[in-house]
Amino acid sequence: MRPEVALPVLLPLLSGAVSLLFWRSRPMQRFIAVAGNAALLGVALWLLVSVGRDDYVVIQMGGWQAPFGITLIADMLSAVMILLTGIIGLSLAVYSLASTGPGHERFGYYPLMHMLLAGVSGAFLTGDIFNLYVWFEVMLVASFALLILGGEKAQMEGAIKYVTLNLLASVIFLTAIGLLYGMVGTLNMADIAQRLAVAEHRGMVEVLAVMFMIAFGIKAAAFPLFFWLPASYHTPPVAVSALFAGLLTKVGVYSLFRVFTLIFDQTLGYTQDLLIWGAALTMVTGVLGAAAQFEFRRILSFHIVSQIGYMILGLALFTPLAIAGGIFAVMHNIVVKTNLFLISGITRRIQGTYELKKMGGLYRERPWLSVAFFLSAFSLAGIPPLSGFFAKFVIVRAGIEAGAYVVTGVALAVGLMTLYSMVKIWNEVFWKSLPKDNLVPVEETVVGDDSRMVPPSLWLMYLPVGVLALFALLIGIFAEPLMVIMNQVGDQLMNPQGYIEAVLGSDGGVDDALVEALNREETP
């Protein structure tokens, strides 16, 4: 029994359920949010240690043997993603204490957050393709409800686009699962990988690979399927934006990494070009979209798209180093991007707007906030010695080694454009003096429409921002030990045989001969 594999899913479900029991008690829900997410972070560390020791930690749910039951499996990739989920969950829980108004809290903000985290953790840990679909839906339904919490006009309009396109992606995913099951007759991902390698209809395998690419591409917001993201991510309360920005698109990226290294690694001749050019165009369109914006969260939303390109590029180059770089980029991006959204929430609290033109003077007013922004923003742009530099460095080096010079050049140029957008925010929000027409007093513009939220609780917003900014710095300083972990991720993903053996056992699981033998013995 290895409880640490199941606990990252069970804990948020439990916290969510208990939180629902205390529907009327705000203090209790707030306490459960922090305690539950702290426990999640603890379990995530436990899982990371276990995986570091044993390489693969597997649990067969209900005791059903591997290809028949649902398998939960953690390899290094899953363990790293779960750890990041724990970090972001706890940061967001603390931040929400101050940023989310009682209006939102009364309508189930915290239970929804727990359910969302349960869906995210489940998607990272499951070894069953249909179960992955189910966790996607758990995550999506929670995110739908979080997105429209508050019910403003912009939220409704954003939600319609978000809901439609994500449901479309789910249906494409479901269709692909149905066709895949028709071909191989199994849902266990390790078993699928084995059977698909010897499947007859090679053309059908490629069709399925592209269907999975489209489904996960929509969820990951890759070009040309990203339009729902900048249309919706800037509409909900800022803590929700930050949670979505940090985790949701990365579940799509994770699924791409998992499916294309484990199941469809043999169709790469066909899909690799699609992935590479998709990645390049994702980077370029995202960063150009951001250049045209003058609203804090819209700029950041477009940069999510742009950064997704780097991660997919890491997958598309398909060398152990490139995949390590891609996962490094995921790790760096989850921390930094969440932090930038959290900072946008604080500046909005101070100056009452997200419009860059109306803001200013924060460098003089809040020097420490400026430092936190500086660390996160310049890390995103890839300035050494911050975390983003090493992510980019590894991917660019892998790109040059693979001989993909054009895409590597695009990646470097996009880094420059990212710097342009970050400098734009820095100049407008922190450097220039406050424009005369911003006379909005702080108290009236508090998010969450309730005057009971008072400024002294701001330190609860500063705390996660400071910690995450410190992470951005530490990831850069301790890049080498982290690269050891990332290289292990790369090795594991490039050699799926280990994963398959961990799930099915070294003999390749139960075969039909065994069933026949059983029948013969018991027939009188």
Partner 1 sequence: MEPIMAVAIGILYAAAIFLMLRRSIVKLVIGLILLSNAANLLIFTSAGMTRGAPPLIPAGLAAPLGPVADPLPQALVLTAIVIAFGVLAFAVVLIRRAYEIVKADDLDKMKDTDT
| 297 contacts 341 by C-beta, under 8 angstroms | yes
Rule CB under 8 A: is residue 34 a binding residue for partner 1? Answer: no
Please state, as a whole number, how many other Cβ atoms lie within 10 Å of the Cβ of residue 177. Answer: 20
Identified binder of partner 1 from the candidate list 14, 160, 423, 494, rule CB under 8 A = 160
Residue 156 near partner 1 by CB under 8 A: yes
Site for partner 1, residues 484 to 523, rule: CB under 8 A: 515-516, 518-519, 521-523
- Number of residues near partner 1 (by CB under 8 A): 51
The encoded tokens of residue 24 equal 């009327």
Based on the shown chain and the rule CB under 8 A, indicate whether residue 216 belongs to the binding site for partner 1: no
Stretch that binds partner 1, among 16-24, 106-114, 174-182, 392-400 (CB under 8 A): 174-182
157 near partner 1, rule: CB under 8 A: yes
Q: Which of 6, 159, 350, 422 binds partner 1 (CB under 8 A)?
A: 159
- Subset of residues 115 to 134 that bind partner 1, contact rule: CB under 8 A: 130, 134
When asked if residue 174 is in the footprint of partner 1 (CB under 8 A), the reply is yes
Q: Which of 16, 89, 122, 230 binds partner 1 (CB under 8 A)?
A: 230
Site string for partner 1, 134-153 (x = CB under 8 A): x--x--xx--xx--x--xxx
Q: Decide: is 199 part of the binding site for partner 1 (CB under 8 A).
A: no
Cα–chain center distance at 257: 12
Min dist. Cβ of residue 516 to partner 1 (A): 8
Q: Which helix (H) or strand (E) holds 57?
A: strand 57-60
Long-range contacts of 48-55 (CB under 8 A, 24+ apart): 48/79, 48/80, 48/82, 48/83, 50/2, 50/4, 50/74, 50/79, 51/75, 51/76, 51/78, 51/79, 52/76, 52/79, 52/485, 55/492, 55/498, 55/502
Distances (CA, A) of 284 to 234, 236, 290, 418: 20, 26, 10, 10
The Cα 132–Cα 406 span in angstroms is: 35
447 φ, ψ (degrees, to nearest 5): -65, 140
Q: Which of 5, 113, 231, 486 binds partner 1 (CB under 8 A)?
A: 231
Q: Which stretch binds partner 1 (CB under 8 A): 166-174, 303-311, 313-321, 333-341?
A: 166-174
Q: Which of 26, 161, 195, 432 binds partner 1 (CB under 8 A)?
A: 161
Cβ neighbours of residue 238 under 8 Å, at least 6 residues apart? 99, 297, 341, 342, 344, 345, 348, 447
Name every residue whose Cβ is closer than 8 Å to that of residue 28 and which is 6 or more positions away in sequence: 19, 22
Residues that bind partner 1 (CB under 8 A): 130, 134, 137, 140-141, 144-145, 148, 151-154, 156-161, 163-164, 167-168, 170-171, 174-175, 177-179, 181-182, 185, 187, 230-232, 234-235, 289, 292-293, 298, 302, 515-516, 518-519, 521-524
